[in-house]
Amino acid sequence: MDQELKTTCLHEEHVALGAKMSPFAGFDMPIQYSGIIDEHNAVRKAVGMFDVSHMGEIIIDGPDAQSFVNHIFTNDVTALEPGCILYGMMCYQDGGVVDDLLVYKEFESGYLLVVNAANIDKDFEWIKQQADGYEVEIFNDSDSWGQIALQGPGAEDELVRYFGLEELRELEFYTFYDLEDEDGGRIIVSRTGYTGEDGFEIYADGEIIRDMWEALLEDGVKPCGLGCRDTLRFEAGLPLYGDELSAEISPVMAGFSMFCKFDKPEFIGKDALLKQKTEGVARKLVGIELKDNAIPRAGYPVELEDGTQVGVVTTGYHSITLDKSLCFALVDSTHAALGTPLFVRIRKRVFPGEVVKKRFYKTNYKK
């Protein structure tokens, strides 16, 4: 099995830093370096960087690129200007989620879709299958790109120092610049991230990414692993495909229907999602705060006081920033209202809690 694992352009740096490595989405990835709590706090209070080179990049170009992206994507790219980015989902006809992704509207032409590492092959095949009747070219460009996520309140200063470009401060949330290194290598810098803090994601080929990683490391930016990437996104109320969104968990169930534009003439899954939105769904994703420090984990049952199971935990942690035991759970809609008392079964005991807003942590995006 191990020899089949892919590695990113920064693999040697992780090993040299003594990171704990683990397979993730087919890649041998760093889970932590100094420790999840230390890395998590660095991103909340200062600045940290993540190797996210495993993420997939799929390019869609051609005369029908705009209408095709609008066909497969729940959000609306009609008015998306070059240099701007939208978050949304690709859904099946029944409203289940193929993947959640970012769509970058390129300056020249076409769109760059940034998808989850675990879904690259599935997404690419699915996208191609939807293209009948559209004049588009679809490339899986994932192997050409490395990516660093530079995140935290200190990210802007670090980015400006590294590139020597004050203009980077002007970059707005969910927009990007196209830069070139001295050899003409393309560098995309976007003001995006998956932590709830201000931050940037930088895409370039492996060599540029390695140079940048080393320079940022030398400058004192803390390397952060996938361990704290998950604790950070969780606190910020952001979903992880496979846990909070999946073929079984639609954007409406997960509470992300604001990323589904029902005023578009059509998109795959529109009818099913619109039906869910108007008629209601059987299960909804909620946040639960426990009154104890016991930690709810994915798969643990959510119950009523009388022991009836009404749901299941999808992600849970003792929140590092908020010092509370919190989880996302998929529960019967009749028990999903804010303030509803719910109980989580943790090993042999049951712990009381209540439904709270999923965005546990007040995010600090620069808008």
Partner 1 sequence: MSKIIEGLLYSESHEWVKVEGGIAVIGVSDFAQSEMGDITYVDLPSEGDSFEAGEEFGALESVKASSELYCPVSGEVVEVNTELEASPEKVNEDAYGAWIIKVRLSDPAELESLMDAAAYAAIAK
Phi (first) and psi of residue 132, to 5 degrees: -55, 130
Residue 103 token pair: 């769509």
Select 136 or 326, whichever has its Cβ closest to partner 1: 326
Q: DSSP letters of 292-318? A: SS----TT-EEE-TTS-EEEEEEEEEE
Count, residues near partner 1 per rule CB under 8 A: 19
Minimum CB–partner distance for residue 227 and partner 1 (Å): 6
Do the Cβ atoms of 163 and 188 come closer than 8 Å?
A: no
Tokens coding 41: 């706090």
Side chain identity at 161, as an amino acid letter?
A: R
Q: Which of 30, 193, 227, 269 binds partner 1 (CB under 8 A)?
A: 227
Using CB under 8 A as the binding rule, the residues of this chain from 283 to 322 that contact partner 1 are 293-295, 297, 317-318, 320
Report in angstroms how near the CB of residue 31 gets to partner 1 at its nearest.
8
Q: Does 35 bind partner 1 (CB under 8 A)?
A: yes
Taking the C-alpha atoms of residue 26 and residue 253, their distance in angstroms, rounded to an integer, is 28
Residue 232 and residue 326: Cα distance in Å, rounded?
13
Is 327 near partner 1 (CB under 8 A)? no
Radius of gyration of the chain (CA): 21
Query: Does residue number 18 form part of the binding site for partner 1 (CB under 8 A)?
Result: no
**CB nearer partner 1, residue 229 or residue 358:** 229
Structure tokens at 278: 């108007």
Interactions with partner 1, residue window 112-151 (CB under 8 A): none
Of 37, 215, 247, 282, the residue at the interface with partner 1 (CB under 8 A) is: 37
Nearer to partner 1, 36 or 115 (CB): 36
> What are the tokens at 141?
């460009």
- Does residue 15 bind partner 1 (CB under 8 A)? no
**C-alpha dist (Å) from residue 77 to 116, 119, 200, 316, 365:** 20, 22, 22, 33, 22
State the minimum distance, in angstroms, from the CB of residue 150 to partner 1: 22
Question: Does residue 276 interact with partner 1 by CB under 8 A?
Answer: no
**Dihedral of the alpha carbons of 260, 262, 267, 269, in degrees to the nearest 10:** 70
Tokens in use for 149?
Answer: 């996520």
Q: End-to-end distance of the chain based on CA atoms, in angstroms?
A: 44
Smallest distance from the beta carbon of 348 to partner 1, in angstroms?
A: 8
Backbone conformation region of residue 174, classed left if phi is above 0, alpha if psi is from -120 to 50, else beta:
left
Tokens of 66: 């705009």
**Residue 255 lies near partner 1 (rule: CB under 8 A):** no
Instruction: Using the minimum distance from each CB to partner 1, give the nearer residue, 349 or 359.
Output: 349
Binding mask 168-207 for partner 1 (x = CB under 8 A): ----------------------------------------
Nearer to partner 1, 31 or 253 (CB): 31
Beta bridge partners, 138, equal 60
Question: Min. distance of Cβ 36 from partner 1 in angstroms?
Answer: 4
Q: Judged by CB under 8 A, which stretch of 46-54, 178-186, 215-223, 227-235 contacts partner 1?
A: 227-235
* 133 contact partners, CB below 8 Å, separation of at least 6: none
Q: Which one, 32 or 246, has the nearer CB to partner 1?
A: 32
- Closer residue to partner 1 (CB): 176 or 328: 328
Neighbours of 2 (CB within 10 A): 6
Instruction: List interacting residues with partner 1 (CB under 8 A).
Output: 20, 31-32, 35-37, 40, 227, 230-231, 293-295, 297, 317-318, 320, 346-347
